[in-house]
Structure 1
Amino acid sequence: MARVTEQAPKSAEPARWVVGITGASGAIYGITLCRQLLAAGFHLHLVITDAGWRVLKEELGWDAARRVECLNTAFDSALSENRMTYHPLNDIGASIASGSFRCAGMVIIPCSMGSLSAIANGASTNLLTRAADVMLKEGRPLLLVPRETPLHAIHLENMLKLARLGVRMIPAMPAFYNGPQSIEDIVSFLVGKVMDSMGIEHNLYKRWGQSNG
């Protein structure tokens, strides 16, 4: 008779998310999501494209020449305290480039049409698109927050192609039924919708039918 050995129970999915920020307008969406994930206790693996750094400079006043300092300032020393890992865009040998690296999934927020096109066509030309390709091949959650207007047929076809592969499309389209009073409220709504799709609890916006109490 074959010997039956006990197997150790499977461990829970690592509390790690990969976040990508690209050169689309709306860098504040990505920064806000990162802050929320860190506050919720997740370890964050962050990759930012060169165009993403340019947008951070233009929209939020970040100094792209002092990247580590900017990240530590924005995220309360999470980088130096090892609560967050920053991966340079060209580090194709980084942990997140391998399917053996376990994580809960990846969000690209905001996602430019260029990055979206590369992912849709399997062009792993940098660490961000390679990490997204890993999510697809490993069957892990991949969420994209495209930010562009107007959209032409190629944009739409690329989104449809990815959606049919199970990629979650969450375009940066804020709602107004919750009565936003500030830009922060608008940003919080969109980030909250992203976290809903990630399955993470939050209180970033008032839901439809939710009382004020």
Structure 2
Amino acid sequence: MKRIVIAITGASAMQLGERSIQLLLENDKSVDLILSKGAYEVAKSERNINIPVEPKAQSEFWRNKLRVESGDLNCYRWNDHSASIASGSHKTKGMVIVPCSMGTLGRIASGFSLDLIERCADVHLKENRPLIISPRESPFNLIHIENIKRVATAGAIIVPPIPAWYTNPKSIEDIIDFIVVRLFDSLGEDLDNIKRWVGPNK
């Protein structure tokens, strides 16, 4: 089974990345996970969560927090450039960056890889594999828009974390699930254990 790379950067809305991990593992998928250095800081400031940096400890942390035993999860340090996922010879189904900061997006757009997330994104573009980017910023300035255009032209799929009200969400969790489903629809992943919109109630 080809693996899916999930990257969480230091932008607000880490809950989207967390729910992505949970749903993939519940669906018995294989996940390679990278958190940027900034993501650890956001977890502390926004959610009062201390996520371990050491890969094995982090894998145990996520399994305990998400209460999931299925699937396969490998965690990587943000600066581990020797990781297998930094090479095009490491086969993956695709990569999802959620949420994606404007700094990360800008470096991907310029081909300038400072950390493992940016290197993996570069690998997916050069290998013509799916790269799904969920940029989290508002409002966009012209530089942001130009960077989005540049990565889209290079082959990335841009899926902003925009909620839908036609689904009549009853909770924040409903909104998060809608956004995550749309992310993985773009990757061709059908996720079970999640309610999908099937049309207006008659």
CA RMSD of aligned residues (A): 2.0
Aligned-pair identity in percent equals: 38
**Normalising by the residue count of structure 1, what TM-score does the alignment of the two structures yield?**
0.86
Relative to structure 1, the CA distance from residue 174 to residue 205 in structure 2 (aligned partners, 3 Å threshold; closer, same or farther) is: farther
Asked if residue 157 in structure 1 is aligned to residue 146 in structure 2, the reply is yes
- Residues 14-23 or 81-90, more deviating: 81-90
Report SS of the residue matched to 1:106.
Answer: strand
Question: Whole-Å Cα distance in 2 between the matches of residues 164 and 208 of structure 1?
Answer: 32
Post-superposition CA distance 1:25-77 (Å, at most 9, x none): 00000000111111111111000011111112233331145762533422447
Question: Whole-Å Cα distance in 1 between the matches of residues 101 and 136 of structure 2?
Answer: 6
Amino acid aligned to 1:154: I
Q: Is the 8 A contact 2:24 2:191 kept in 1?
A: no
Cross-structure match for 2:45 = 58
Q: Is the 8 A contact 1:16 1:45 kept in 2?
A: yes
Asked if residue 95 in structure 1 is aligned to residue 84 in structure 2, the reply is yes
Question: Whole-Å Cα distance in 2 between the matches of residues 36 and 186 of structure 1?
Answer: 15
Amino acid aligned to 1:104: K
Q: Is the 8 A contact 2:9 2:101 kept in 1?
A: yes
Report SS of the residue matched to 1:70.
Answer: helix
Post-superposition CA distance 1:71-99 (Å, at most 9, x none): 34224475xx8820000011100010000
**Normalising by the residue count of structure 2, what TM-score does the alignment of the two structures yield?**
0.90
Moved over 4 A (4+): none
Question: Whole-Å Cα distance in 2 between the matches of residues 60 and 44 of structure 1?
Answer: 23
Question: Whole-Å Cα distance in 1 between the matches of residues 187 and 90 of structure 2?
Answer: 19
Cross-structure match for 2:196 = 206
**Alignment length (residue pairs):** 197
Amino acid aligned to 1:174: P
Q: Is the 8 A contact 1:24 1:110 kept in 2?
A: yes
Question: Whole-Å Cα distance in 2 between the matches of residues 82 and 177 of structure 1?
Answer: 32
Q: Is the 8 A contact 1:63 1:70 kept in 2?
A: no
Asked if residue 28 in structure 1 is aligned to residue 15 in structure 2, the reply is yes
Cross-structure match for 2:26 = 39
Q: Is the 8 A contact 1:28 1:60 kept in 2?
A: no
The answer for unaligned runs of 5 or more in structure 2 is none
User: Which structure has the greater CA radius of gyration?
Assistant: 1
Using CA pairs under 8 Å that are at least 6 residues apart, name the structure with larger relative contact order, 1 or 2. Answer: 2
